[in-house]
Amino acid sequence: MKTIFLVDMQSFYASIEKARYPQLEKKPLVVSGDPKRRSGVILAACPLAKKKGVKNGERLWEAQQKCHDLVVVPPKMQDYITISVEITHILEQYTDLVEPFSIDEQFIDVTGSQQLFGPPLEIAERIQRHIWEETKVRARIGIGENKVLAKLACDNFSKKNKSGIFWLKKEELEQTLWPLPVENMFGVGGKMTSHLRNMGIRTIGQLAAVPLKRLKDKWGINGHVLSMTANGEDLSPVSTSSHDHQKAIGHGMTLPRDYIGLAEIRVVLLELCEEVCTRARKSHMMGQTVTISVSGASYEVRSGFHRQATLYEPTNYVMDVFHVAEQLFLKFWDQNPIRRLAVSLTKLCRDDEVQLSLFNTGRDKKVDLGYVMDGIKDKYGTTALIRASSLTKAGQAFERAKKIGGHYK
């Protein structure tokens, strides 16, 4: 039988900051974006802060009302990425089957490691100690015969018991998992919870008992997945190549202020297209469908749109993407201020698999120009070459160069 772990780092960002500042060990601490900008949201709260009601994802000012002695630390994303990779290397000392699930969660298959390292619980304890000794971050580990059981074990039991380890066995689901509220199940969000409760489904066990046909008739393949998850079934293996095949390349940003006029919105739109195409070229990919997402500035009245258009042929040339994105924006923008903008490329193909055209004779020059610009930026920095529009007050290129994932490095 397979033995899968989900290794989850407790309050990952906050734990790293407490390791950096030992004097804050007994203080309620959160990692949060800048409250003076729109990014004042709790990214990670330590256990002491959570005990006072602070939650990940809430506004910083709300957290400070709950906890008046809250210590606020800005995120240092490059450090978190570095330590995440370090933890991956630690896990690779126990098995060659390591699959990152997020920056602070990783699946590992230890089925073939037990002859060397002992039974599953012993391996889990060794991994916990190893990660703590190297990083001063506490790991919680869910154990199951497949990935979904390991995830459910970690989320519902490992995170809540003293040892930080729990083995969720399929034959014991009736006593362990099924009595839990349906919203505790992985893959069930707020809207799905409402739908299920309207059907009279309150617990995971009740969901597991619903005939598969009923769920499939209502939600199709998603209904099938819900049934499998509730019954602890998952056929997907732990794979080291699960993230190798991209389906989309995109970039978005929450603006530092409300952008009102078309001229300044065009500046950021062009910068986002530049970043998307740069990422596409680094992956040696092109995209044929351009998608733009816009969110309005008002928190009271939600507005915005999500639209896409398909090009005649794939591209990773900035101006090709920008012209389509701009047309979509002009067509669907309601003239109200915006606070968030995103651009993405889908329907991807490799850049060496392009249909030849008798009419687009300048295509190769455009593509070559993009790669030349990438080479200059790789050598001298991402802001070594920028467009003149980025020098205006609306430009965000220099600010974004200081960040990873929207937060400062």
Of 315 and 140, more confident: 140
- 248-408 is a CATH 3.30.1490.100 domain: yes
**pLDDT at position 406:** 62
Q: How do the domains of the chain map onto residue ranges?
A: 1-168, 171-242, 248-408
CB count in 10 Å sphere of residue 391: 12
List binding-site positions for Mg(2+): 8, 104
CA dist 114 and 110 (Å) reads: 7
**How many Å apart are CA 129 and CA 136, to the nearest integer?**
9
Q: Where are the beta strands (DSSP E) in 176-324?
A: 248-259, 285-296, 304-315
Q: What are the residues whose beta carbons fall under 8 Å from the beta carbon of 218, sequence distance 6 or more? A: none
Alpha-carbon gap, residue 49 to 63, rounded angstroms: 9
Q: Give me the CATH topology for the region 1-168.
A: Alpha-Beta Plaits (3.30.70)
Residue 320: which pLDDT band, with cuts at 50, 70 and 90? Answer: very high
pLDDT score at 331: 94
Q: List, as residue ranges, the binding site.
A: 8, 104
Residue 106 has pLDDT above 70, yes or no: yes
**pLDDT tens profile 111-133:** 999 999 999 999 999 999 999 99
Q: Which residues are catalytic?
A: 105
Which regions of 51-146 does DSSP assign to beta strands (E)? Answer: 71-73, 98-102, 105-109, 139-144
> Is residue 259 predicted with pLDDT exceeding 80?
yes
What CATH number should be reported for the domain whose range is 171-242?
Answer: 1.10.150.20
